[in-house]
Structure 1
Amino acid sequence: MMASPKSNSEVHKRLFLYSHPRTRSNLFMRLLETHPQMVAKQYPFMFAFQAGPEAQWSEEKRALRIQSSHMSVEEADKKSYQAGLDEMEELLAKANEEGKICIIKEHTVHLFESEFVNAKISSPRHGVPRPVIVDRRLDVTNSGEADVPLPVPNPTLLPDRLLASMSPILIIRHPIFAYTSYIRAASIFGGTGIDSEFPLMATYRWQRIIYDLYRDYYDKTDPEGRKHWPIVIDGDKLVEDTKGQMEKFCALTGIDETQIQYSWNASNEPIEDVYRAFVGTIKESTGVIKTPKSSEALNVEEYVEKWTEEFDETVAQRLKEAVEASIEDYEYLFKASI
């Protein structure tokens, strides 16, 4: 586990949270959003990945996603990767003008093209063309600003210079809990745990790829100054010791932790079905909801019995296989967590 960092005088103004479904990322974002200097944008590319004109899902799943969002096909066609990048860059520019800190959150797999994703999983899956994205540099306020070189391969759809300019945060959670929670939530748009998209959402391969990418980059450019980066948050540690985790995070990013609130008012805004499945709990909460922690080591075989009862034997086996295949990557990242 990473040693506790000392306070960092540098304030990191451009943060990117590389998230994974059901890792407590909504809680982490909710905490940061209470900070008066923070502006946030969540999922600039998720809808493009799932239901936009360049969707990386099958046409059947795209149709289900559009239907569950109560959106017309014409409206969905406007949710392109280009639109997502433009909105992200515009917010970065706005935050810079206002002297604020900007955090962008996206599930890591949504940042990869289909060909790259399909090469990393064993399950057969349809391929689609790479999305066409032009970097309009809408976040660049100084026309003479030079691009930051990225001396490592960039497997994402983000421009090299944007990837290099962001301070990376990854969030993980034990796969037993993350993957089970994903299946429950994904059922709202037809996810079953045995479909072709499950392997994309039940792996920490994407998180490790991003971690190794940035570590390689920092080792080549600033090994001492960035020795604690990327920052890795473990979702269960965040619930168990919320303030302690946020203090460590803020020490690394230069953010004033005393400005973060640990309780808030519940949202009264109506939430559509898909979003309720994924963010309903945090939207309706007034603070961190503690969950009982087991002092015993997690045994996947015990959970297979529970999964068989809750879902069925086939789903239970898929969950077991996914958990066992993810343990090495999870433990690798957990050792780097704050």
Structure 2
Amino acid sequence: MVNPASTDVHKRLFLYSHPRTRSNLFMRLLENHPQMVTKQYPFMFAFQAGPEGQWPEEKKAMRIQASHMSNEEADKKTYQAGLDEMEQLLAKADEEGKICTIKEHTVHLFDSKFINANISTPRREVPRPDIVDRKLDVVNPADVDVQLPVPNPTWLPDRIIASMSPIIIIRHPVSTYTSYIRAASVFGGTGLDSEFPLMATYRWQKIIYDLYREYYNKTDPEGKKDWPIVIDGDKLVEDTKGQMQRFCELTGIDESQIQYSWNPSSEAIDGVYRAFVGTIKESTGVIKKSDASKDMNIEEQMKKWTAEWDEDVAQRLKETVEASMEDYEYLYKFSI
């Protein structure tokens, strides 16, 4: 049952994710809920390999090839197309009286100028994507005009930021970054490439957390005192039902309709898809794994990393883990 203390059902949820934080598990728990419609990664391909993409040309080509997509298909993956598709799904959910959950990796919501200002190894700068908010998710577009009282660092329209209830998912950097390198090898990721610094930091999620907290402090500090919701991926595995009960209390979702087991997917899974979602697609429920990363000694980890990769990758992992701990611990203290 919906918690009677919940005075509002949050109809629009946005999961600000990071690769390898158990975000696929979280979405799997939600996607068969009868109240829910979901959409994952409306902007990921635009960021990585579309015509306005921010990856180097050689990495774009590898990403397109690994996804079994033609160049003509890739050219259609624009930020505008992603925003239009997202707004259309929001409209559909509204019409059906359902909750819509959108998931996107947080870094994909920033332009390259902003990204370069927040990493230690700047990359080639590309133009900010040219996006028009067509307001496809509202009945009377002329009546919707929202301007945030705080700076918006993303290219998402202010009114979209304001209308979405934010969820942020994290996981200990040791587990997150090693898992990312393994999965990203399918499209040439090495841990030493130019894209690794973008995917091995919790800076983007801290920026989003601080954006919303500043916004809520100015507009509804008491009503939004528990927002953004922060979920730790390791807690989600260790106490799945407890985490989802708390999440549902905060969002007004009926927890009794959450499915904690499911049938494995019958669809063909290969390439990038297998590398990043193969485990969850082939599973039948939550896979309990002991993850003692928070207690791991970084020097001991470096020995394992050197054996699996080499000394250069191990050193890069050490540097990124250590550089991430402040942001990770900042967000973790707010986790449910």
| Fold shared by both chains (TM-score > 0.5) | yes
Which of 247, 263, 271 is equivalent to 1:249?
A: 247
Which of 117, 120, 134 is equivalent to 1:119?
A: 117
1:129 and 1:6 map into 2 onto residues whose CA distance is: 48
Q: Structure 1, residues 199-223: CA drift from partner, whole Å, max 9, x if none?
A: 0000000000000000000000000
1:249 and 1:258 map into 2 onto residues whose CA distance is: 12
Task: Give the equivalent residue in structure 2 for 1:39.
Answer: 37
| 1:159-170 map, 5 Å | 159-170=157-168
How much does 1:125 deviate? 1.1
1:203 and 1:273 map into 2 onto residues whose CA distance is: 25
- Find the residue that maps to 1:106 and give its secondary structure: strand
Q: Which amino acid aligns with 1:24?
A: R
Kept after mapping to 1: 8 A contact 2:172/2:293: no
Kept after mapping to 2: 8 A contact 1:148/1:165: no
Q: Does 1:272 align with 2:270?
A: yes
| 1:312-327 map, 5 Å | 312-327=310-325
| 1:175-190 map, 5 Å | 175-190=173-188
Kept after mapping to 2: 8 A contact 1:45/1:81: yes
How much does 1:147 deviate? 2.4
- Find the residue that maps to 2:69 and give its secondary structure: coil
Task: Give the equivalent residue in structure 1 for 2:65.
Answer: 67
How much does 1:302 deviate? 1.2
Aligned residues: 334
Task: Give the equivalent residue in structure 2 for 1:138.
Answer: 136
Kept after mapping to 2: 8 A contact 1:171/1:234: yes
Kept after mapping to 2: 8 A contact 1:188/1:273: yes
| 1:1-338 map, 5 Å | 7-143=5-141, 145-294=143-292, 297-338=295-336
Which stretch shows the higher mean deviation, 77-86 or 290-299?
A: 290-299
How much does 1:6 deviate? 8.7
1:303 and 1:154 map into 2 onto residues whose CA distance is: 38
Q: Which amino acid aligns with 2:57?
A: E
Gap runs ≥5 in structure 2 = none
2:296 and 2:201 map into 1 onto residues whose CA distance is: 18
1:114 and 1:211 map into 2 onto residues whose CA distance is: 20
Normalization by structure 2: what TM-score? Answer: 0.97
How much does 1:227 deviate? 0.3
Kept after mapping to 1: 8 A contact 2:302/2:314: yes
Closer/same/farther in 2, CA of residues 6 and 24 from structure 1, 3 Å limit: farther
- Find the residue that maps to 1:120 and give its secondary structure: coil
Q: Structure 1, residues 42-91: CA drift from partner, whole Å, max 9, x if none?
A: 00000000110000111111111111111111110000000000000000
2:270 and 2:137 map into 1 onto residues whose CA distance is: 31
Q: Structure 1, residues 172-196: CA drift from partner, whole Å, max 9, x if none?
A: 0000000000000000000000011
Q: Structure 1, residues 127-171: CA drift from partner, whole Å, max 9, x if none?
A: 111110000000012345332331010111100011110000000
- Find the residue that maps to 1:287 and give its secondary structure: coil
How much does 1:108 deviate? 0.2
- Find the residue that maps to 2:14 and give its secondary structure: strand
Kept after mapping to 2: 8 A contact 1:7/1:252: no
Kept after mapping to 2: 8 A contact 1:53/1:79: yes
Closer/same/farther in 2, CA of residues 207 and 136 from structure 1, 3 Å limit: same
Q: Which amino acid aligns with 1:93?
A: A
How much does 1:294 deviate? 3.3
1:102 and 1:287 map into 2 onto residues whose CA distance is: 23
- Find the residue that maps to 1:21 and give its secondary structure: coil
Closer/same/farther in 2, CA of residues 143 and 81 from structure 1, 3 Å limit: closer
